[in-house]
Every structure is written in C-alpha cells, then in structure tokens.
A and B are shown apart, each in its own frame.
Chain A
C-alpha cells in the first residue's frame, strides 16, 4: 500500500480535472465524484497507515522516488514520496477531515449553481495538500505549497461576483506570496550551502554547515510558515479569508492549509537544531501571535472572524511548541491534530448556525439557539470544551502539554513563554465562551423573519463525527505517550526536562484561568443582556476590533513606500529609457522624413543623384588603385 501513496495526489487531481473540464455537464454528478475521490484518499491513507504500523519503529521511513523531475546536472531534483509517521499523521488528518467536509458541502452548497466547481477546487486543494506533506524534497513540497495557495485563492474568492470577496482572495494570495519568498530563499540557501533540497541529503549535510547559514535558512523558513499559517507579521489575510464559504474556512483555514507552516518547521527540525536563535524566533512569533489572536477574538462580533482569530491563536500555540525544539515538536503536531478536529467541527457548526439563520454572521443577532438546533449545540459544545482544555477532552491533553513544555528551560525564556501560554489559555477560555454563549444562550436577539432550524443529515453527520474526535482523540493519543512515541523517529527522542513550575501546579493554574474566563464570559453575555449593536468601546477594545490596525500598518509600512517606489521607477524609466527609445524612434522617423525629400519624383533629381554616384565610384576606383 505504501507504493500506492502517489494516488493520494493523483486521484483528487484527476477528479478535479474531470469536473472542471466537464463544466456544465457535471452539475448533477460533480459533487459526488468529488466525495468519491476524497473517500478514496481515506482508504489509501488508512492502508498506508496500517502498512507503516506493521513495520518496526526504526524502519518507519518509506521513501520512493517516482520520477526524475529536474535532471539539471548539479541541481537535480527527483520527485518522490516520503511516508513516515509525521507525514502519515497529516495524511490521515487531511483525508478524514477533508472527506467529512466534502460530505458537509454537498448539503451546504446545495443552492449554489457552481457547486461542482466548488468540489473541483476542494479536490484540487486536497491533492496539493497531500503533495505538500508526502513530498520528499523542499522543491516538491513547494509545488504543493503553491497548489494549496492557489486552491485557497480560488475558494476564498468563490463568490467573486461580490467585489470584497474577490479582494479578500487577492489579499490572501499576496500575503502568502511574501511567505513563499521566504521558502524560495531557504531553498536557494540550502542548495548553495547544503548542496541539495532533498530532505535526506539536506538533513545529512546540516551538521556540517555554519550556524549563520542555518539561522538564515531557519528564519527564511519561519517567514514562509508565517505567511501560510497566518502568524505575525503576515497574519492580516486570515480574517478576510472568511469571505469564502464556510466549508472552505473549516477545511483550509482551520484544519489543514494553515497548519502547513507548522509542518514545515517540524519537518525542518534537523536544520533548526543547528540554529537555536532561529528556533527562539519561532517561539517568540508563536507567543506574540497567540496573544494577538486571543485579544482580537475577544472583540469580534462576526462568528467566523472570531473563529479565525481563534485559529490564529491556536496555531500560535503550535508554533510556540515547535519553537521549543525537539521537546515541543510532538506536542505541536499533537495539538495540530486535535485542533484540526475541534476547530473544523466548530466551523461546520458555525456554518450550520448560519444556514439556519439565513446566512447571517453577526453574533449579536443570535442567541437562544440551543433549544432549536440541538445537534449543532451539542457538537459545537464539545468542540468548545475541547478548545478550552477541559479534561478529559482533546484540547486538555494537547494544550496543557504545550504549556508545560513552555515552562522548561533556563533564564528568562520559560517564564516569558510560559506566562504567555498560560495567559493565552485564560483569554481563549474567555473569548470562546463569549462566542458560545452569545450564539446559543441568552435571549433571542434575532432579526425579523428568522426561522432557525436544524441542518440536514448530510451536514449534521460530519459534525457529529468531528465532535467525537474533539472529545476522544486527545485521550486516545495521549495514553502512554503513544503519540510522542509514534513521532519519535522523526522528531528525535528527547529527554524531558522539568518545567520551572511543577506540572500539577501548572494544570491547576490553567484550569483556574479557564474557569475565570468562562465565568467572565457568562457574567457578561448570559447574565446581562447583549446589545444588538456594538457598544462604544475604549481604546484597547477598538484596537482589538480593528485587528490591531494591521491593514493600516501594512498599508503604511509596505504598500505606500512600495507605491512611491514604483511610481518613481515608472517615471524614471519613462523619462530615461523610454525617453531614449522614443527619441531614437522619433529621430529615425525624422531622418526618414528628411531622406524622403530626396525622392522628389522628378527625373532630374534622380539623374543628378546618378551622376554624383558615378563620379564617386569612379573617384574611388581610380584613386583607390583599382
């Protein structure tokens, strides 16, 4: 089965091609073909997983070269797959969550006439995501990287007849591009100093390279990860990406694409091992983002934007864990898997609420839905409990381990990073509870004519399955440190240090903060009536509402100087080069005009010209010694 893993990429890609080429004809069957392609990947994924399980622990890296991709002499890259515990974990996540979301979309997008195109794009996405995680070289990973960026653009701007949605797609793509530049730089550095962009060759050459080079590579990879995972400073696109249909937000901007950055960092572990400063930078970026996302999430009234801020924050947790080095890699991936389930589940739940409330997203207009949308309420609630980190649900097992690992180390690092993680847990509890209470509890604050109802089976069943994952997956993977052991061949076996605050103390502190957060949210949004329009706010709240003015900062720092530079260059080019070229052309035309006057059309002029020519020729012939 391991040899068939290329089907993971080929089948959805072929399905996407068929649906797109069929066009209108696929209107009746396009979505089912998409679901079928996605289901096939689940089968292949589980097959490969069991095949890998059957091997010994140290033998679990299956590499196969598929074909010679770039036979370029010194820079030759072969396309191949690398199936090891890390990539299989991702493959399973993407295939399972992806297929569930495919099924959900059949009902969610029922009234859209371009539904088959939607499924084609979804298939394209999962094909590219698979390629990203099973690639055996950075270059092939980059192909998948770009592919998911493309699919994200197509899907965010799916309803592009609405100009703001099209702009959101452009914004996502452009910010991602800045990250891509980091990946290209990293690959160039790798090729120059390590000699190869293949994982195995690069990692083998890493110990021999200088710290400076490895730090540069590490920082470039960090830039790439920031772009794809919406980390500070490239986080501005995630909120606007909510313009896409909710299944897109669930799949791409919760579970899979945004986690590609974490995958990149963890996969490049051997490179970061020689660059502790780069690793520290990763951790700091993660810490900043997790706090920033939490603060933004506290002030958002749009349910999808609040969930997006939550995603940003949770990925900050993952990046923080990854930045802690080998001790944190496994926890980052663990949290990534559990987050995939509960966040996707919550996004699908939000989609279900929107479906029932006529596509409205303003949480100030929800309220009291728990009785009317029971399944949604329960599944969403399980996800809520998971993200809060309430035992025994998934989030407790993964997030607490991150907080514990953050407190390990010497000097200022464990205190700063650990406190940030702890504080983030409290803030997460607050804003997620705020979201939950505003949506499902409290008084009904609906607009006129709303008839909230439960969603059809095709939507509720995937939500139920995902909530089971939210509830149980953490416990399953954490028992006996199963997941850490599973990933050990990739992340390296590391001795656990002791956190500066004792582990049980940390758990208690975390739970206290979580409880405080839930209580604060309850007091604010259930005990007291919720205003239907956002009340006037103090400066911090305004800052949070406006995403820390990220768009304004980007515009001033990057866009405006860029525009000035471009305009200056355009003017300079027009004045000098264009001027030179145009003047040459003009001069030539004038020369032609001048020479044209020789052609008077009169015979005598031509006779004179001929005679002069004869004289000149004779003179040359005679004097030149012919």
Chain B
C-alpha cells in the first residue's frame, strides 16, 4: 500500500520534471529538474528494498554528478537562454518518431515478460543481514573482478579529465621574479606603492602620504579617488609638520 502511494506520488512528478529537459530554456532549470528526478529515483530504490543503492544514488549522482554539471554550467555560461527553434530540418519529426518508437518497442518487449504478481520473490531473504551486507557479499564475491575494473575505470576517467582540460603552457609562468623584472624594465618603482597616509598622522584613504620633504606623494591615493576628485590635499597636515608643533 505504502509503495503504491509513494509510486503514484513520485511518478507524475518525475515525468513532469523530465519534460523540463525538453522544454526549459535555461540550462540551470534543466539541471534542477534532473536533480528532482534523481532524488525521486533514489526514493524508489529505497521502496524496492535497495536502500544502499538509494543512498549511493543520492550521494554520487545527485551530490557529485549533478553538482559537476552545475559547475561546468557556471563555467561555460549560465545565463544563456537557448532558443527552442529547431535548426535541422525534420529533426523534430525524427526525434518524435524515434522516441515513441523506442518506447513502444521496449514496452512491447518487456511487456511480454510474465511476472506472477502474487509471487514476487522480493528481497527479504536476500536482505536478511541488511541490504549493504548483501550487496557487499555479491559484489566482493562473484563481481570482484568487475569491482576492480571499476576502480581502474574511475582512475582512468580522472586522468582523462586532467589530460583533456590541460592547457599547454606556451610561455613561462609569471612568477614573482619575472614580475619584478618586468616592473623594473618598465621603469616602475620597484617597491610597493606607498600606502595612503603612512607618513602622515592619519590613516585615511583619501589623504596622500608625505615624503620626507613634506611634499604629498600622488601615487599613494587611489587613482579612482583622484579621478573622482574625492582626495584631499595634505595641506592641513603639512602645517603641523612644518611648524614642528604637535598639539596632541
């Protein structure tokens, strides 16, 4: 009974979410819809006596794979709204026919499978010691070679990703040494720019620093402030230095 409620609640939601895959224009909406479907699938796995798989589905698929998708989406342009106009002639028709065709084919084939509803074997006996242990027994038992192979596949996939996204370096990397060489060759001041107001009494961003002669140093105030005219001159402080008097 519970299973039916779960199924009939989730199934329409999942189908609805899958339509987003076809009709949504923003890729992020599509990704979110797919997340919904994945979570729904995880719940269905749990309902079908496969809790281990359900959790793995959430952790790996929803948590890792879909997040990967989202990261890459952000990398390549998350704002793009895809135009739904079809550029290839006849593609819509072919796609419709193909999708309907494969659905019909699959249902007609699998529909001939005879399932005795009353005698669904169920996994109660297999899950005697809990589902994870049952899965583990089988996986490290008859499927151990497959499991090892899976490890290799994952390693290769990781290496492959690095290789594919590797940018060959055409010029040497800019490190501190090279940067400073470039600055000196360009005639810039080898040291940092002076902080505003360091030689003055006040640490204010808009007050220029004074050099030992008492002349304000232009570069110590941000160019932006100077352009906006929001800098102050240091005249009020110069008096104090020049007089040598210090009130406070």
Contacts and interface: CB of A to CB of B under 8 A. Distances in A.
Task: Please determine if A and B sit in direct contact within the complex, based on CB atoms under 8 angstroms apart.
Answer: yes
B88 A622 contact: no
Interface string A36-68: 000000000000000000000000000000000
Contacts of B91: 604-605, 608
Contacts of A605: 88, 91
Contact of A608 (B87, B95, B108): B95
Interface string B73-117: 000000000000001100100110110011001001100000000
Contacts, number: 28
A600 B88 CA distance: 9
A602 B98 contact: no
Contacts of A512: none
Contacts of B108: 622
A575 interface: no
Nearest to B98: A611
A611 B91 CA distance: 12
B88 A615 contact: no
Interface size of B as a range: 10 to 19
Interface centre among B91, B97, B98 (most CB of A within 10 A): B98
Given A600-B88, A604-B88, A612 B94 contact: yes
A618 interface: yes
A622 B94 contact: no
A615 B101 contact: yes
B105 A602 contact: no
A619 B88 contact: no
Interface string A595-617: 00000101011001001101100
Given A602-B88, A608-B91, A622 B98 contact: no
Interface in B103-150: 105, 108-109
A483 B99 CA distance: 107
Contacts of B105: 615, 618-619, 622
A509 to B, nearest CB: 103
B86 to A, nearest CB: 10
Contacts of B101: 612, 615
Interface in A260-288: none
Contacts of A608: 91, 94-95, 98
A615 B95 contact: no
Nearest to B99: A611
A619 B101 CA distance: 10
B9 to A, nearest CB: 31
A614 B102 CA distance: 9
Contact of B102 (A602, A611, A622): A611
Nearest to B93: A608
Nearest to B87: A602
A608 B98 CA distance: 8
A275 to B, nearest CB: 81
A611 B94 CA distance: 10
Interface string A442-459: 000000000000000000
Given A619-B105, A622-B105, A622-B109, A612 B98 contact: yes
Contacts of A600: 88
Contacts of A618: 105, 109
Interface string B192-218: 000000000000000000000000000
Nearest to B112: A622
A608 to B, nearest CB: 5
A622 B108 CA distance: 10
Contacts of B88: 600, 602, 604-605
A619 B109 CA distance: 9
Contacts of A602: 87-88
A10 to B, nearest CB: 79
Contacts of B102: 611, 614-615
Contacts of B95: 608
B107 to A, nearest CB: 12
Contacts of A619: 105
Nearest to B109: A622
A602 B94 CA distance: 15
A614 B105 CA distance: 11
B120 to A, nearest CB: 25
Contacts of B97: 612
Nearest to B95: A608
Interface string A576-602: 000000000000000000000000101
Contacts of A604: 88, 91
Nearest to B106: A618
A608 B109 CA distance: 22
A614 B98 CA distance: 10
B195 to A, nearest CB: 56
A612 B94 CA distance: 8
Nearest to B100: A615
Interface string B152-191: 0000000000000000000000000000000000000000
A615 B100 CA distance: 10
Nearest to B101: A615
A547 to B, nearest CB: 76
A550 B94 CA distance: 78
B109 A615 contact: no
Nearest to A615: B101
B22 to A, nearest CB: 14
A608 B94 CA distance: 7
A453 B35 CA distance: 122
A72 B99 CA distance: 71
A611 B108 CA distance: 18
A625 to B, nearest CB: 13
A622 B102 CA distance: 13
A602 B87 CA distance: 10
A191 B28 CA distance: 95
A619 B87 CA distance: 30
B28 to A, nearest CB: 22
Contacts of A615: 98, 101-102, 105
Nearest to A611: B98
A600 B86 CA distance: 14
B201 to A, nearest CB: 68
A622 B112 CA distance: 11
A604 B95 CA distance: 10
A474 to B, nearest CB: 99
A618 B98 CA distance: 12
Contacts of A614: 102
18 contacts: A600-B88, A602-B87, A604-B88, A605-B88, A605-B91, A608-B91, A608-B94, A608-B95, A608-B98, A611-B98, A611-B102, A612-B94, A612-B101, A615-B98, A615-B105, A618-B105, A619-B105, A622-B109
> Which 5 pairs, one residue from A and one from B, show the smallest C-beta to C-beta distance?
A611-B98, A608-B94, A615-B101, A615-B102, A622-B109
Interface of A: 600, 602, 604-605, 608, 611-612, 614-615, 618-619, 622
Given A600-B88, A618-B109, 8 more contacts: A604-B88, A608-B95, A608-B98, A612-B101, A614-B102, A615-B105, A622-B105, A622-B109
Interface of B: 87-88, 91, 94-95, 97-98, 101-102, 105, 108-109
